[in-house]
Structure 1
Amino acid sequence: MTASRVVNGYPHVRPAVREKVEEAIKALGYRPNSLARATRTGVSQIGMLYSNASSSNLSNYLMGAFRQASLSGCQLLIEPSQAHPTPAQAVQKLVDAGVGTVILPPPLCDDAAILESLEKAGVGAVSFATARPLEGRPAVFIDDFEGARMMTQHLLDLGHVDIAFVRGDPAHSTAQLREKGFRETMAAAGLTVDETYVAEGGFSYRGGLDAARHLLGLRRRPSAIFAANDDMAAAVSAVAHGLGLSIPADLSIAGFDDTSVATTVWPELTTIRQPIADMAASAVLLAMDLARPTADPGGHVQAELQLIQRASTAPPPA
């Protein structure tokens, strides 16, 4: 009973006794069993991390999770990983707060060390938007390769052959598969990708600006640029406008995700729709399932993609 009072922060414990209990807790590496606590209180606590505060995906990610948490009667603890020296420390903060499960976005969902640390702590993990769902681990994902294939084929069908690609953060499995989808679709069409037409964008708007300046500064400019997310595609559009290029008459631009930025730039972006809000809601449901002894611990949810054609793509200049 005394140990329980110390662990739960109750007063009326003699300082000398509290110190002994805290030393024992530290030596044993003890962590409270958050799932047992949730069973007693009837409330599930789910930790949720995000890694890119400037991403146009963030609002849909959070709102989808909030909506489902409200419907399901669970509590969400949100933690930005960028607020900590390392992502592992952000995860540990949620573990220390007593969450029963954690939703991990890229690239955290692909970090073997983080997944292992959560397993040792007895905390479940749901991989969100990973491109490589693991057997036995719950995950919500899309087919990133197929999405990139669809968009590349769309540009090829319009008649483009000089297609450039702005890649995302190489630490993300999603970025790797989107680039692979682009390259293999080009190869299937009998086209060799000019490496000067592949630029680093890091999934950020600023990275997209740098990539666009490089690509549009080439002596032989591409007729189309496919960016691995909408933020980078919007940056390409901004640089193109600054150079006096007409979109899509002089340059076609395509993105990926169909975030709000896709319809706030002009012209609106052709993109691949990824239902982020619905995926976040599914992640919350999977996280709650981990607290149920009879649940399938490795449940996978694959969301459907859709190519959304808007005004930013057209046949290449004659």
Structure 2
Amino acid sequence: MTQSKTTAERVKEPIPAAPAVSTINDVARLAGVSIKTVSRVMNNEPNVREETRTKVKDAANLLKYRPNLLARSLAGARSFLVGLLYDNPSSSYVIDMQAGVIARCRESGYHVLSEPQDSLAPDIGRAIASLLATIRLDGVILTPPLCDMAVVLDAVEAAGVPYVRVSPSLFPGRSALVEMDDTLAAYEMTKHLLGLGHKDIGFLRGHPEHGSSHRRYDGFLKAMREGGLEPRPAWIKQGQNSFASGLEAGKALFGRGGDLPSAIFASNDEMAFGVMAYAQQAGVRIPDEVSVVGFDDTPGSMVIWPHLTTIRQPVTDLAYAAADMLLSRAHVDDDAPSFTDARRELPFELVARDSVRAV
């Protein structure tokens, strides 16, 4: 019977040599180019001939070369890190936002620091200032509601870090931004319901600290009033962009008797799911008795039954565009004052499914 080795015996055993790690010098030598050219290719910088770029990438792949993030950071003024700061109860929104930022950053050899923040914390500005003082970032992406908080913008600007805001409502011209037209999207969805004969339409408002919640409500009101209709106050409910708040709204609408709206427009899909869940508990059939629509087109809209009619918000594309704006700015040597005026608007899509019927 073989006796197991003691800890002391194992410590004395020679440590296996680590596999050799290829360096930028090895890639340059194999590709027959300078180290500077390899660096430019690895950083996806312009003005490199395509033939040379291919040669360097082939050499890097053959040698399994991966740039050392710490060495790159120490060698220059960049950290190759982008910060994504968010406070949103929708996990789907956060995941899609992260996916878009990561996809763009990988193309340029950057990494992403994804940090949840508590927008209601009294020291939110100090917390973000501390984060930026501790970790050197080449840029920051701010999502709602952080992107509309003056104390947050002050902290980022004081740190001297370039930033892009996603779907802000306040402080126009203060920073670069990416957005979609929430007002028009909600207007089009309401017109869709009106076109199907719905006049008694309820509305579930989103989180009051999110600018998009107000824009979506504005679009709803605009379409209703153009149709000569005024929403019934009892059918307008305040939500928090969460499933739980949708459930509460459903209880308020369906659980106390009285007239029902023929359709309910929830400001996001999570709340629409909550409304639909309570409707099932209350025995209210969707869409036979009440039609329900949402906003975002999260994965759950095709899982829930009936499948949810909703607005497809390009969250991943918005995130990708925000990261692209930041990385483009990172390669600019001067102060580029025009960067704060940069703006991109992405399209939305109305996706009609089974949760709506004509009346």
Fold conserved between structures, TM > 0.5? yes
Task: Indicate how the Cα distance of structure 1 residues 286 and 229 shifts in structure 2: closer, same or farther if over 3 A, else same.
Answer: same
Match of 2:47 in 1: none
2:211 partner letter: S
Contact 2:79–2:136 under 8 Å retained in 1 = no
Of 324, 327, 347, the residue aligned with 1:285 is 324
Higher mean C-alpha deviation, range 124-133 or range 198-207: 124-133
Tell me if 1:184 matches 2:242. Answer: no
Unaligned runs of 5+ in 2: 1-71
Contact 1:44–1:288 under 8 Å retained in 2 = no
Higher mean C-alpha deviation, range 253-262 or range 36-45: 36-45
Tell me if 1:259 matches 2:302. Answer: no
Matches within 5 A, 1:164-313: 164-217=202-255, 218-291=257-330, 292-293=332-333, 296-297=338-339, 298-313=341-356
Match of 2:19 in 1: none
3-state DSSP of counterpart to 1:57: helix
Higher mean C-alpha deviation, range 104-113 or range 77-86: 77-86
Offset, 1:44:
2.5
Question: Alpha-carbon deviations, 1:161-193, whole Å to 9, x = none?
Answer: 110000001111100110111111111100011
2:191 partner letter: Q
Question: Alpha-carbon deviations, 1:213-258, whole Å to 9, x = none?
Answer: 1122351111100000000011111111111122111110000011
Matches within 5 A, 1:39-58: 40=76, 43-58=79-94
Match of 1:95 in 2: 132
1:284 partner letter: A
Matches within 5 A, 1:75-114: 75-82=111-118, 85=121, 86-96=123-133, 97-114=135-152
Of 64, 83, 90, the residue aligned with 2:100 is 64
- Structure 2 distance, partners of 1:274, 1:131, is 17
Task: Indicate how the Cα distance of structure 1 residues 42 and 124 shifts in structure 2: closer, same or farther if over 3 A, else same.
Answer: closer
Question: Alpha-carbon deviations, 1:26-67, whole Å to 9, x = none?
Answer: xxxxxxxxxx96880654221111212543212111111111
Bigger CA radius of gyration? 2
Offset, 1:124:
1.6
Give TM-score scaled by structure 1 length. Answer: 0.83
Matches within 5 A, 1:86-165: 86-96=123-133, 97-131=135-169, 134-165=172-203
3-state DSSP of counterpart to 1:290: helix
Contact 2:251–2:278 under 8 Å retained in 1 = yes
1:219 partner letter: G
Give TM-score scaled by structure 2 length. Answer: 0.74
- Structure 2 distance, partners of 1:169, 1:252, is 22
Q: Which has the higher contact order (CA 8 A, sep 6+)?
A: 1
Question: Alpha-carbon deviations, 1:287-317, whole Å to 9, x = none?
Answer: 223322355412111110110000001113x
3-state DSSP of counterpart to 2:164: strand
Aligned residues: 281
- Structure 1 distance, partners of 2:241, 2:158, is 32
- Structure 2 distance, partners of 1:84, 1:150, is 32
Unaligned runs of 5+ in 1: 1-35
Question: Alpha-carbon deviations, 1:250-304, whole Å to 9, x = none?
Answer: 1100000111121111111100011111111111111223322355412111110
